[in-house]
């Protein structure tokens, strides 16, 4: 759902690594991540204190299938939601095995979390397929935002024909499958049900260690992103307003097979741990039982009891997104392990796995389409190639989205992806998404933010942001300054920045060549591709559909024939209602 600006109690997620912007750094001040960390560590301190007391058990006996020994209990809490937000109006204390919507959905594992919700993998007992369930915080403000999100999702999920003659671009936007309410100890929560996707693009950026993702993949992501945005803007009249790597998710090809794989491997780990614990327990128990039975060691029993208690009472579950071949370093190891374990061989007598032979065989069969063993026939090779070379992405998190004729707020976009018109407080529209998309594509190619503003002693983050934009793209158009509600804060009457005087101009193609070592030709092509989407005047910014036709995207794997003939390359979206400002009096799409 939304970015850190719209709702109270909102903190940045600590997952975005701070990387240097290509732009001149004025002064080094405390990082955004540092600030987020300190809030989270406060939450963790509170959590520690709470745990000493022991919160109300969540996984009570009645929780069918709740597994206190699951991998999830050992989560890295620093990267999860804060315990202090588990209170009335806050997150629902969801757990593995919990049922929703009169038993239709059963929670399997946690996939992720956001400031508005926790997101879970669930089994739909009606369709027998897995789904992703977003359980929203119950406070009124979150509930209202979720109800708006549902309306927007319903609009974009309605597949009403293709934009071009052959292409259904709605498949690049996350589909809403169901929604309902769920009541728990913290109130009534809106629940949204989606198809299951894999990791987000930040995971991919991290997998390539912030050194940039190969252009072959970036082109696929860029083209699909533009097709998805064109569909949203032109067909649905919806503006996303928060395009960034975290909000673009990769598909996992065979969800059911991958769920079986990860569940099987997790179960195996748990079984191994149980065996290990039993073995440790008996070696610890024996001397106590025989020697000091009447005064059993208080430290040992307390430790054991509290160890059990901590696991049972774990409130925050570790996120486990489904692995995808491209972003998970251990995807193939997991598969190899899975396939290795599936070989018919006698079970060791000490390790009584609860997995039946039948179940194992079923898992193996379902994974056969993913097998990468020594088979060499063409079909298998093609499958492997497809698995690793072709990415499918979907734009997710419409929690901050709005309509072309109804903007809910002017505080839009996450800082690094925020457009100049929004910073100066001028009018904005669909074209604000295009700015963010260009920032995102640059980040995929280089691993760095395009703009990473910071505050200094004498200037604000906004000052620095505007200065970085000017350094890269030139002066902010006078029209934008005239209409910007905040322009006077940043600019004097002569149109000069008030708080920053020394600017270092560094055009994009030079940044790409000099800093990121693209060849001169590549730097020129990429710059030609990105600059029309970074036009400072939102009215003139190139629209998504036209950019789909850019020559840089011609050889995009899986999409090389796809063009939108009705859109003009580098054309602005003058014909798209709400392109650069909120409009009234036009019928909704
Ligand atoms: N359909 C899905 N399939 C798999 N994982 C998902 C899906 N939807 C969301 N997630 C995971 O859950 C996380 C949170 O989802 P989302 O961003 O929609 O929640 P939010 O509470 O609105 O968060 P935010 O703070 O980012 O606005 C995502 O980053 C992703 O890891």
pLDDT at 332: 62
On whether both 181 and 215 belong to a single domain, the answer is no
pLDDT at 39: 25
Cβ–ligand 1 distance for 201 under 6 Å, the answer no
Is 242 known to be catalytic?
Answer: yes
Strand order in the sheet with 130-136: 99-100, 105-113, 117-124, 130-136, 187-194, 176-184
On whether both 109 and 245 belong to a single domain, the answer is no
Work out the pLDDT band at 362, boundaries 50, 70, 90. very low
Q: What CATH number does the domain containing 497 carry?
A: 1.10.510.10
Closest among 572, 579, 249 to 398, alpha carbons compared: 249
1 CA from centroid of ligand 1 (Å): 7
Which segment of 24-38, 245-259, 419-433, 452-466 scores lowest on mean pLDDT? 24-38
Which residue has better confidence, 76 or 517?
Answer: 517
Residue 319 CA: nearest ligand 1 atom is 31
Tens-place pLDDT, residues 146-160: 999 999 999 998 765
Q: Is there a binding annotation on residue 509?
A: no
Cβ–ligand 1 distance for 153 under 6 Å, the answer no
On whether both 204 and 153 belong to a single domain, the answer is no
On whether both 421 and 560 belong to a single domain, the answer is yes
Cβ–ligand 1 distance for 221 under 6 Å, the answer no
Pocket test residue of 90, 327, 397, 417 for ligand 1, highest count of atoms within 8 A of CB: 397
On whether both 188 and 236 belong to a single domain, the answer is no
User: Which listed residue (242, 433, 448, 454) is catalytic?
Assistant: 242
pLDDT at 304: 38
Hunting for tokens 């060691």 — which residue is that? 297
The C-alpha angle with vertex 325 and arms to 442 and 551, in degrees rounded to 5, equals: 35
Tens-place pLDDT, residues 557-589: 999 889 999 999 999 999 999 999 999 877 777
Q: Whose alpha carbon is nearest atom 27 of ligand 1?
A: 1
Domain annotation covers residue 359? no
Number of domains in the chain: 2
Closest among 543, 292, 457, 136 to 301, alpha carbons compared: 292
On whether both 184 and 205 belong to a single domain, the answer is no
CB-CB contact of 400 with 492 (8 Å) = no
> What's 551's DSSP letter?
G
Cβ–ligand 1 distance for 399 under 6 Å, the answer yes
Q: What CATH number does the domain containing 91 carry?
A: 3.30.200.20
pLDDT of residue 465 exceeding 90, the answer is yes
pLDDT of residue 89 exceeding 60, the answer is yes
- β partners of residue 572: 542
- b or e along 546-566 (b: 16 or more beta carbons within 10 Å of the residue's beta carbon)? bbbbbebbeebeebeebbbee
The token duo for 53 is 């007391």
pLDDT of residue 290 exceeding 80, the answer is no
Cβ–ligand 1 distance for 242 under 6 Å, the answer no
Cβ–ligand 1 distance for 194 under 6 Å, the answer yes
CB-CB contact of 418 with 465 (8 Å) = yes
249 CA from centroid of ligand 1 (Å): 9
Closest among 31, 91, 441, 419 to 245, alpha carbons compared: 441
Residue 3 CA: nearest ligand 1 atom is 27
Work out the pLDDT band at 180, boundaries 50, 70, 90. very high
Q: What phi and psi values does residue 111 have, to the nearest 5 degrees?
A: -95, -35
Cβ–ligand 1 distance for 321 under 6 Å, the answer yes
Q: Whose alpha carbon is nearest atom 4 of ligand 1?
A: 197
Domain annotation covers residue 23? no
On whether both 150 and 265 belong to a single domain, the answer is no
CB-CB contact of 536 with 472 (8 Å) = no
Domain annotation covers residue 548? yes
On whether both 87 and 182 belong to a single domain, the answer is yes
Which residue has better confidence, 548 or 5?
Answer: 548
pLDDT at 367: 40
The C-alpha angle with vertex 14 and arms to 442 and 24, in degrees rounded to 5, equals: 45
**Residue 486: other Cβ atoms inside 10 A:** 14
- b or e along 381-412 (b: 16 or more beta carbons within 10 Å of the residue's beta carbon)? eebbeebeebbbbbbbbbbbbbbbbebbeebb
On whether both 574 and 458 belong to a single domain, the answer is yes
On whether both 475 and 529 belong to a single domain, the answer is yes
Domain annotation covers residue 369? no
Hunting for tokens 């009403």 — which residue is that? 160
Domain annotation covers residue 211? yes
Model ipTM? 0.98
Q: What phi and psi values does residue 230 have, to the nearest 5 degrees?
A: -60, -45
What are the DSSP calls for 202-218, one per residue?
HHHHHHTTTS---HHHH
Residue 119 CA: nearest ligand 1 atom is 12
Which residue has better confidence, 524 or 35?
Answer: 524
On whether both 235 and 148 belong to a single domain, the answer is no
Q: Whose alpha carbon is nearest atom 26 of ligand 1?
A: 114
Which range marks the domain in which residue 178 is found?
80-159+174-195
pLDDT at 264: 84
Domain annotation covers residue 482? yes
Pocket test residue of 134, 196, 204 for ligand 1, highest count of atoms within 8 A of CB: 134
Domain annotation covers residue 165? no
pLDDT at 272: 86
Which residue has better confidence, 584 or 244?
Answer: 244
Cβ–ligand 1 distance for 2 under 6 Å, the answer yes
Q: Whose alpha carbon is nearest atom 31 of ligand 1?
A: 112
Q: How far apart are CA 367 and CA 257, in angstroms?
A: 5
On whether both 119 and 258 belong to a single domain, the answer is no
């Amino acid at each position: 759902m939304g970015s850190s600006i719209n709702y109270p109690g909102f903190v940045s997620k600590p997952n975005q690594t701070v990387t240097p912007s290509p732009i001149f750094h004025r002064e080094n001040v405390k990082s955004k991540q540092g600030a987020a960390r300190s809030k989270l560590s406060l939450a963790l301190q509170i959590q520690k204190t709470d745990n000493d007391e022991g919160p109300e058990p969540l996984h009570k006996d009645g929780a069918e299938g709740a597994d206190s020994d699951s991998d999830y209990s050992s989560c890295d809490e620093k990267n999860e939601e804060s315990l202090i937000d588990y209170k009335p109006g806050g997150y629902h204390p969801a757990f593995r095995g919990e049922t929703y919507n009169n038993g239709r959905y059963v929670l399997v594992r946690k996939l992720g979390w956001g400031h508005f919700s926790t997101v879970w993998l669930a089994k739909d007992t009606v369709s027998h397929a897995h789904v992703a369930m977003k359980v929203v915080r119950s406070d009124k403000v979150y509930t209202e935002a979720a109800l708006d999100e549902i309306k927007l999702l319903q609009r974009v999920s309605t597949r009403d024909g293709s934009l071009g003659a052959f292409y259904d671009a709605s498949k690049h936007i996350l589909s809403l499958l169901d929604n309902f309410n769920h009541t728990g100890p913290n109130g009534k929560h809106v629940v949204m049900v989606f198809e299951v996707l894999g990791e987000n693009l930040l995971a991919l950026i991290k997998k390539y260690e912030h050194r940039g993702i190969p252009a072959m993949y970036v082109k696929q992501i860029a083209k699909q992103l533009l097709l998805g945005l064109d569909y949203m803007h032109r067909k649905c009249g919806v503006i996303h307003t928060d395009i960034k790597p975290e909000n673009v998710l990769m598909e996992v090809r065979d969800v059911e097979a991958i769920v079986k794989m990860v569940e099987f491997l997790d179960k195996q780990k748990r079984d191994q741990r149980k065996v290990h614990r039993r073995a440790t327990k008996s070696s610890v128990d024996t001397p106590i039982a025989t020697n000091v039975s009447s005064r059993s060691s208080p430290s040992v029993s307390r430790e054991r009891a509290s160890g059990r208690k901590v696991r049972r009472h774990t409130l925050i579950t570790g996120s486990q997104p489904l692995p995808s071949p491209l972003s998970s370093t251990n995807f193939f190891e997991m598969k190899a392990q899975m396939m290795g374990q599936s070989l018919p061989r006698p079970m060791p007598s000490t390790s009584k796995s609860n997995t039946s032979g039948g179940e194992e065989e079923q898992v193996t069969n379902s994974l056969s389409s993913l097998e990468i063993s020594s088979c060499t026939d063409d079909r298998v090779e093609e499958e492997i190639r497809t698995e690793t070379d072709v990415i499918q992405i979907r734009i997710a998190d419409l929690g901050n989205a709005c309509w072309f004729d109804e903007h809910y707020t002017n505080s839009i976009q996450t800082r690094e992806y925020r457009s100049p018109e929004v910073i100066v407080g001028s009018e904005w529209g669909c074209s604000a998404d295009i700015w963010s998309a260009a920032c995102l594509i640059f980040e995929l190619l280089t691993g760095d933010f395009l703009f990473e503003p910071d505050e200094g002693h004498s200037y604000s983050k906004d000052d620095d942001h505007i200065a970085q934009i000017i350094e890269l793209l030139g002066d902010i158009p006078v029209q934008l300054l005239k209409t910007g509600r905040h322009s006077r804060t940043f600019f004097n009457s002569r149109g000069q920045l008030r708080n920053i005087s020394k600017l270092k101009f560094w055009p994009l193609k030079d940044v790409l060549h000099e800093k990121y070592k693209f060849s001169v030709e590549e730097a020129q092509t990429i710059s030609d591709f990105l600059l029309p989407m970074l036009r400072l005047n939102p009215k003139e910014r190139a629209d998504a559909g036209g950019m789909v036709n850019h020559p840089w995207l011609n050889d995009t794997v899986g999409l090389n024939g796809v063009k939108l003939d009705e859109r003009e390359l580098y054309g602005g979206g003058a014909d798209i209602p709400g392109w650069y400002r909120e409009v009234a009096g036009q019928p909704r799409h």
